[in-house]
Amino acid sequence: MSKRSQTLLQQGVISDRELQIDEEKVTNARIALKNAQEKLNSDQDKLDEVKAAVKDAESEQRKAAFDMRRGQEKLREIQQQLSDRAVKAPMNGNVLKLEVNSGNGVKTESQLLTLGNPAKEIVRLKLTTLNAAKVKINQIARVSTIGPNPKVFIGRVISLSPQATTSTSGDESGSSMGSSSGNQAKVDAIVLLNKPSRTLIPGSQVSVEVIQDQRQNVLTIPLEVLQTGERPFVWVKDQEARVQKREVTLGLQGLTMVEIKSGLREGDQVIQVLPTQTITPNTPVQESSISPNSREEAQ
């Protein structure tokens, strides 16, 4: 009880009941103040904990950011190492040959594979020195598959070596200009097809005819009907179905056809005679006849 309340009670200003109520209010106020102070202290503690947690979180964030930067640098380093070890093809193409197996150790300068460009087909030739002297860059070449019903592809000479080399390898493409055997020196040449064949097998043998000259719309006959002697001649079927000897003047000659400059006319029927047969003028015709072709291209 406060002194002032005691004085008021003695003077009869307040009653005992009023005094008791006032004292309870004071007590409650003190309790409320204490509780408020305790709550304030608790909230302050929580605030301090939150600040500490924020500080720890910021520290963890800085550490995570640092770790991320280190990880990114390590990733770039590993990616660079992988890029340095990766082999990139200079073009899109087909793998023709593998030089190494999976797991083999290789050097930087090692040959790993042979890559073919399907959009660019070339044929490598080995010419005799005599034939090579007749060949020039950009000359037309006819490339034929070997076998029955050969397919023919047109190209042009894009490379001709200035030097002859001796090779014992049998991996050569044939040429209509002639062939040689043994260790005779050969000249390397390359023919580029005008458009990809899509059928030629890399490494396979083909026949190549380099065209030296050509004429259009001339009279031609197959080589197998041409006879040789002091002068070239052919056997011609006359109106009485008998054979007659006819001397001819030759022009350009290709793989299968030869140009006839004089001695035959369009419509004449030429007789094919086998090498084992003997024939004389006025012999009755027994073989099938062949008419000269006036629309053929002589090459």
E-assigned strand segments in the chain: 94-98, 113-116, 122-128, 140-145, 152-166, 174-175, 185-193, 206-210, 215-222, 233-237, 243-247, 249-253, 257-262, 270-271, 289-290, 293-298
pLDDT of 229 strictly over 90: no
Q: Is residue 100 part of a domain?
A: no
143 & 196 share domain = yes
What number of H helices and E strands is found in the chain? Answer: 3, 16
Q: Is residue 108 part of a domain?
A: no
> Does 162 or 115 have the greater pLDDT score?
162
Q: Is residue 107 part of a domain?
A: no
Strand partners, 113: 98
Lowest mean pLDDT among 164-168, 204-208, 229-233, 278-282: 164-168
Instruction: Report pLDDT for 297.
Output: 52
Give the residue numbers spanning the domain of 288: 215-298
Domain boundary (186, 210, 234) is at 210
Confidence of residue 26 (pLDDT cuts 50, 70, 90): confident
192 & 221 share domain = no
Q: What is the mean pLDDT of residues 161-188?
A: 66
Q: Is residue 150 part of a domain?
A: yes
Q: Tell me how far apart the alpha carbons of residues 10 and 271 are, in angstroms, rounded to a whole number.
A: 168
Q: What is the CATH number of the domain that holds 276?
A: 2.40.420.20
Instruction: Report pLDDT for 176.
Output: 47
74 & 125 share domain = no
Per the structure, the count of domains in the chain is 3
Instruction: Report pLDDT for 157.
Output: 95
Domain boundary (193, 210, 227) is at 210
Q: What is the mean pLDDT of residues 184-189?
A: 92
220 & 205 share domain = no
Q: Is residue 92 part of a domain?
A: no
Q: Is residue 111 part of a domain?
A: no
Confidence of residue 31 (pLDDT cuts 50, 70, 90): very high
pLDDT of 4 strictly over 80: no
Domain boundary (39, 59, 82) is at 82
